[in-house]
Structure 1
């Protein structure tokens, strides 16, 4: 049997479907002035649905789709304290520039390149949170401008928008030292993310400069620090297991610097189970300044990040990269600020 040849989709077909002139469709497809942004989006959407781009791949190559693929793990997407604020900044800045955000969840154990990337129907990619190098390499093969948010690779060069993690925990540790603390620990799983690792390094540097070395070679016995696999208990709010870990320490510090605010609030609850009060017995400092810092008792001293601005800067960098594909990559670091509240007690000699 002879196969029936499919009729080629033309601009005239699209114009008739939308009741527009062929000229209007042409202007929209070629990203020319003369049609509204709303009309242009409708034309592109209809052309895609009708299969026009399958027969005219050159239009995709010219980045006529004003879409940005946002790639994020589902657990981070549902993090109402931190990443939702970053995503809000992304959405607002994208909207200002007439771009749509296409959210795609990634699975670190079974990574799939989004179909919008495979078909090159996005102009850029924002990866929010941690991504493995092997997965990042798969994305970059499509040669679509990509910016990492709150993560960077040690081996693969990309643009990234990050936080001043090391200066932040350095600042927090110095603050505790000024308050008279010398027995200071770090609480947080340092291998969970690049941010946590950098915060651990900032803490160590502040302690070293104050002559209070924690563990200069980072061996497995870092004194007052809990840096192993605790993030699973933080995420699941398993305070009893954290209390169990703390109870096995030979000696407790007078203060803890935490990998983030969620870890700090986990400590609040774990210490409460053990009958230890914050800040009367142990002082606690967080990182991120999420909304709940002003709700918990005592209010949490922390390091503030402008999370929405992080999202805005990521979009701005991505748009710049679209226009400057050959320029060197850059890592942008968000400024941080110490927010003093009630979770730190001053120790007087």
Structure 2
């Protein structure tokens, strides 16, 4: 029985990648018209059976499929990433583009196991929500499927990214505290958890530097976990309590506020608290917490816009788009105590 000819056989004959063969035969972007003709000729010569399709550039939006992938953990954070997902779904619906959702397990990340629709090159574009491992993301990028990152970037990842302007947002938050007269301001957050948290630490430091405030390293809790016990242990051992805290997200802001109040410290009379993200915890806390608001709907809209653009401009340089944040002043911040 004759051996069935595969795409790999064609790739080996032409000394090109299997992915390039797939793109050429399926009519998807990423290869030149000359390469398409060479691949088609080799396929006919070898006896490979395939169905010819129109050039991908002639396909209507209604025929396109976009995949949204994220870690199982990211998909569980419905109050933040859930709003971005809904925005993406709405934007793609406007263009008549189909959306595929795929959670990625820790095991899949470790073993670099890509979803079947990525392996089969059966989607026109990919949106990656939040951070997976750098190796895993680069494995996806190696397929040459147009890809846009949402709320994540890394120097070793060459891809478009839609990001919050974390540095300037944190700067604005700390600048607000400084204008209230605070000079002893702490930072709380696990800076190694994501690039966003580290950038917010940099924004905190930048604001203090610009105001000529010497940074007190004991006020920087940059390795603390977002857990009640870890917050309590970290704060109870401080030699001195700052007059204000900048917290890297809502969760940390809520836990810091809870600890202070349980310790008999009044907010904001004795200590002010400011955080980032404007999630539900900022709004249900007593007092409500001053925060930096992120337009999550805009996140989804810009991600879809960039991916559609990238699908038609595959060889263009990568773009990082920074989205602004807005300070929302609430009752948790007030003038620095005078004594």
TM range (shorter): 0.7 to 0.9
In structure 2, the residue matched to 1:196 is 197
In structure 2, the residue matched to 1:96 is 94
Partner Cα separation in structure 1 for residue 52 and residue 265 of structure 2 = 66
Does structure 2 retain, via aligned residues, the 8 Å contact 1:240–1:270?
no
After TM superposition, the runs of 4+ consecutive aligned structure 1 residues lying more than 4 A away are 57-61
TM-score (norm 1): 0.77
Does structure 1 retain, via aligned residues, the 8 Å contact 2:253–2:282?
no
In structure 2, the residue matched to 1:76 is 74
Gaps of 5+ in 2: 5-25, 29-47
Alignment of 1:99-114 (within 5 A): 99-106=97-104, 107=106, 108-114=109-115
> Are 1:309 and 2:307 an aligned pair?
no
In structure 1, the residue matched to 2:50 is 56
Q: CA deviation at 1:59?
A: 4.6
- Aligned residue pairs: how many? 290
Alignment of 1:1-80 (within 5 A): 56=50, 59=53, 62=56, 66-80=64-78
1:279-312 deviations in whole A, cap 9, x for unaligned?
2322111111113322221111000110111011
Root-mean-square deviation (Å): 2.4
Does structure 2 retain, via aligned residues, the 8 Å contact 1:284–1:301?
yes
> Are 1:331 and 2:312 an aligned pair?
no
1:314-342 deviations in whole A, cap 9, x for unaligned?
01100000011111111000011110011
Partner Cα separation in structure 1 for residue 280 and residue 165 of structure 2 = 20
SS at match of 1:347: coil
Partner Cα separation in structure 2 for residue 110 and residue 85 of structure 1 = 29
> Are 1:230 and 2:228 an aligned pair?
no
In structure 2, the residue matched to 1:254 is 243
Partner Cα separation in structure 2 for residue 110 and residue 270 of structure 1 = 40
Distance 1:80 1:295, change over 3 A: same
Does structure 1 retain, via aligned residues, the 8 Å contact 2:27–2:54?
no
Of 178-187 and 265-274, deviating more is: 265-274
